[in-house]
Chain A
Amino acid sequence: MSGFDVQKVRADFPILRQEVRGRPLVYLDSAATSQKPQAVIDSIVRFYQHDNANVHRGVHVLSERATEAYEGARETVRRFINARDAKEIIFVRGTTEAINLVAQTYGRKHLGPGNEVLITHIEHHANIVPWRMLCEQTGAVLKVIPVDERGELKLDAVDALMTERTRILAVTHVSNALGTVVPVKELTRRAHAKGIPVLVDGAQAVTHFPVDVQDLGCDFYAFSGHKMFGPTGIGVLYGRLERLEPLPPYQGGGDMILSVTMEKVTYNRVPHRFEAGTPDLAGAVGLAAAIEYLEALGMANVAAHDQELLAYATKALESVPGLRIVGTAREKSAVLSFLLEDIHPHDVGTILDREGICIRTGHHCAQPVMQYFKVPATSRASLALYNTTEDVDALVRGLHKVLEVFK
């Protein structure tokens, strides 16, 4: 692969250099959380060893350094997703909090009885439950774009679902359970033609291919640090400035105010209005390091590796007798959900685990997807930039072992 040496990449991830149960670790669960390169780990250690202090308040040198690191991370994120302005980047705990933030600020402000929230059938619970809660709070109604047997959205049903009652479209960029890449640019175009703002859940996208929020045109874009080789506890909500400016605060506390008296509070400007309390400073620093790591590899190279590996893995899994891949969208990311004969995914996962192979089994926090495909659970192998064709071969050998146990 041009410009991409996967063995060199692997060497950057210390956790991969271990044996489990007497076998080399094969980590195929990056859609749940990714592993961290040494550069990210080092950046966090360095921050705590040299620069740690609270931000936006101190007059001392450490606070200046910490503020510079934190606001520098904001600028790094801006560059990574090509936002116009660093003020459009809000640090949150993760994708889940980002979506809750929009539901509870934009949603509370703009939704009432009779209004509609439009989501899709392939959302992660994080992009269902906050809207369901909002509907319960406001009397609005949740509408759902249907899915087909490949795991693609039924785009011809979309226009009828976007009505004068629709107040927001919340849609995933990549399905965590099926790997489907959703044409969010096209959906945004159609929604905007009807004046409907769009939130995109990008948790599974930013790690696999380049994302340009201006090109997509969406109003909000949410993602997590930990799925893109950064630390847990930090994530991003991007919001177009003209969308963010009129919004009320999310949580109250320090740093989100300009002045407080017992009679009156004046809220801070965007983005600080949405960042109450001391943020995850080291997390932001670690996220910036992860972005710099990805930028050095080149997201186009990462995407090419992803697609080559997906093609290889799809073919390899199809060679296993009795295996059925769930989610066969024409445009897919390197996520492979599958069923093996009538063997329950938990049994598959347990036997693979004894071979040193980590996969996810269960409903993947996407129960409506399971309900559509009429299965209680699937096994899921999710691949990342440090995975190799050898990892896929190990998975296939492991699956043959599963068949042997259940023969």
Chain B
Amino acid sequence: MSSDLSDLYQEVVLEHSKRPRNYRVVEGHNREAAGHNPLCGDQLSVTLKVEGDVIRDIGFQGQGCAISKASASLMTGAVKDKTRAEAEALFERVHKLVTEGPEGVDVDALGKLAVLSGVSEFPARVKCASLAWHTLRAALEGRGEAVSTE
């Protein structure tokens, strides 16, 4: 496999895409949003239980490519028990990572999400990696309507 391909489809990415974590509707959720990538037809929904300013629980469901599923799965693990501001800051870092690459990004602060760094070599796949995050942001902002990557 060429090196940029193996950077994109890292073990962790493949594993999360096959066995996504928190693939469920959160019981008693008080926030939700749907996301859609009209270019490829990917759709996912995010449900949250927010207490005060803290994300106490998060789940997602939907269909998509390995990148979008893995990104969503990793996201749910990363933002649990985080405040809204912390989740937003994480999205900013992830977005910079998948669009510009790891340089200038505090990769340590990203934890497992760092495996998404390979996406930056594949501009056509940036939207796959960011769909879940846009949907999370819409849910946090209380926008019930579907968000679109377009």
Interface residues of A (CB under 8 A from B): 21, 343-347, 350-351, 354, 361-363, 367, 370, 376-377, 401, 404-406
Contacts and interface: CB of A to CB of B under 8 A. Distances in A.
A377 B41 contact: yes
Interface of B: 1-2, 4-5, 8-9, 14, 39-43, 63-67, 122, 124-125, 128
Contact of A404 (B1, B41, B43, B67): B1
Q: Could you tell me the dominant secondary structure of chain B's interface residues?
A: mixed
A377 B42 CA distance: 9
B39 A362 contact: yes
Given A344-B66, A350-B8, A376-B63, A405 B1 contact: yes
Nearest to A370: B41
B71 to A, nearest CB: 13
Contacts of A347: 9, 65-67
B4 A346 contact: no
A367 B41 CA distance: 9
A91 to B, nearest CB: 30
Contacts, number: 51
A401 B9 CA distance: 13
B98 to A, nearest CB: 14
A354 B14 contact: no
Contact of A351 (B5, B41, B43, B124): B5
A160 to B, nearest CB: 32
A406 B14 CA distance: 7
A318 to B, nearest CB: 24
A181 to B, nearest CB: 26
Contacts of A351: 5, 9
Which 3 A-B pairs give the minimum distances between C-beta atoms?
Answer: A344-B65, A346-B65, A376-B41
Nearest to B124: A350
B9 to A, nearest CB: 5
A369 to B, nearest CB: 12
A406 B6 CA distance: 11
Nearest to B64: A344
A273 B64 CA distance: 47
A2 B35 CA distance: 53
Contacts of B125: 346, 350
B108 to A, nearest CB: 28
Contact of A376 (B1, B42, B67): B42
Contact of B9 (A21, A345, A362, A405): A405
18 contacts: A343-B66, A345-B40, A347-B65, A347-B67, A350-B5, A350-B124, A351-B9, A354-B2, A361-B40, A362-B39, A362-B40, A363-B40, A363-B41, A367-B41, A370-B41, A377-B41, A401-B1, A405-B14
Question: Which of A343, A344, A363 has the most chain B CB within a 10 Å cutoff?
Answer: A344
Given A351-B5, A362-B40, 10 more contacts: A344-B65, A344-B66, A346-B65, A346-B67, A346-B128, A350-B124, A354-B4, A367-B41, A377-B40, A405-B9
